[in-house]
Structure 1
Amino acid sequence: MNSGSNDARARRRLTAELKRRFRDVNNQIALLSHHVSSRVELRDVDLDCLDFLAQHGATSPSALARRAGVHPATMTGVIDRLEKGGWIARERDPNDRRAVVVSVRQDAIGEVFRHYEGMNAQMDAVCADYSPAELELIAGFLQRTADAGRRAVEEFAEG
């Protein structure tokens, strides 16, 4: 057997292992988020939308629906619940007075973030074991993985 086929087999094995570990990470983060959403009395999809708004800033309800992968009518319910709970503000779009944008209420979001302090501390400990160059490599890998996930979602939604 030549080293090329051994290298290809090793690459397939390692790639499969990475995918398996991503599934495990995804499951653990989903479980943590489920516990957090229960603690703050939000539905899982509501917490997902709140997190998106916290990360990316104000956006239109239709853009949020696309990003969250939910029907616009479902998004109306999500936004209504988040607004009623005091998590978000619904305001007129400054660029189009007929349109609406939703944004996180900064005075409320801290309650959610506090529930992730344990995970953040765990991640700090994990990251402490890596050099800055290794962290840059990992961050780039995760960015490319997230981009691949977005493309897969777009393809799935179109198909």
Structure 2
Amino acid sequence: MDSVANRRRLTREVKAALRDLNLQLSLLNRQFGTKAELKDVDWSCLDLINLHGPLSPSTLARRAGLHPATVTGVLDRLQRAGWIVRERDPDGPDRRAVTVRARRERNQELFRLFAGMNAEMDRLCEDYTDEQLTLIAGFLRRTTGAGHTAAERLAGSPDP
């Protein structure tokens, strides 16, 4: 097999593996959401708040790629369930502005649910050298960036 054909085959294998990974992580997240009593979109927003928060609702809507009205419903559910708090800045220029913050004391519940996957990942990573892990982490970060770019393009393109 020539090098061009081999390169195409390997690229297809990587794309197929990423597609399989996406499906498996979706299934895992669905199971996680069921155990945590969170809808998929609620879990995604809570994870964004945990990773990047505190956030304004409009910033969360942009990061999640959701309509602001949808985010309002998500935040209502997360607040009722005790996962987040909405806070006003009484000294801010707009006293109506709200910031959303995760209740970090609840994170132990999330960590417990993900303990199995984290343990599996620790075992998996033991099989790789530091150099290989650096390469894999870089590839995954770049893949995340490519996904972000593709999502932005889709969001900005008119519907067919």
Q: TM-score, structure 2 length as denominator? A: 0.91
Aligned-residue offset at 1:95: 5.4
Give 1:8's match in structure 2, choosing from 4, 12, 18: 4
- Stretch deviating more after TM superposition (111-120 or 92-101): 92-101
Distance 1:42 1:18, change over 3 A: same
Give 1:48's match in structure 2, choosing from 44, 49, 68: 44
Give 1:111's match in structure 2, choosing from 101, 109, 112: 109
Kindly provide the amino acid, as one letter, of the partner of residue 118 in structure 1. G
Paired with 2:34 and 2:156, the residues of 1 have a C-alpha distance of 32
Aligned-residue offset at 1:63: 1.3
What percent identity do the matched residue pairs reach?
52
Paired with 1:51 and 1:101, the residues of 2 have a C-alpha distance of 15
Instruction: String of CA shifts for 1:89-134, please: whole Å, max 9, x gaps.
Output: 1112575444211111011122122111000000001100111111
Number of residue-to-residue matches in the alignment: 155
Gaps in structure 2 of 5+ consecutive residues? none
Give the secondary structure class of the aligned counterpart of 1:86.
Answer: coil
Distance 1:95 1:141, change over 3 A: farther
Moved over 6 A (4+): none
Kindly provide the amino acid, as one letter, of the partner of residue 137 in structure 1. L
Paired with 1:38 and 1:95, the residues of 2 have a C-alpha distance of 38
Give 2:60's match in structure 1, choosing from 57, 64, 69: 64
Task: Determine if the alignment matches structure 1 residue 78 to structure 2 residue 70.
Answer: no
Kindly provide the amino acid, as one letter, of the partner of residue 138 in structure 1. I
Kindly provide the amino acid, as one letter, of the partner of residue 124 in structure 1. D
Give the secondary structure class of the aligned counterpart of 2:9.
Answer: helix
Paired with 2:149 and 2:92, the residues of 1 have a C-alpha distance of 29
Q: TM-score, structure 1 length as denominator? A: 0.92
Give 2:24's match in structure 1, choosing from 28, 41, 56: 28
Kindly provide the amino acid, as one letter, of the partner of residue 127 in structure 1. C
2:83 aligns with 87
Task: Determine if the alignment matches structure 1 residue 141 to structure 2 residue 139.
Answer: yes
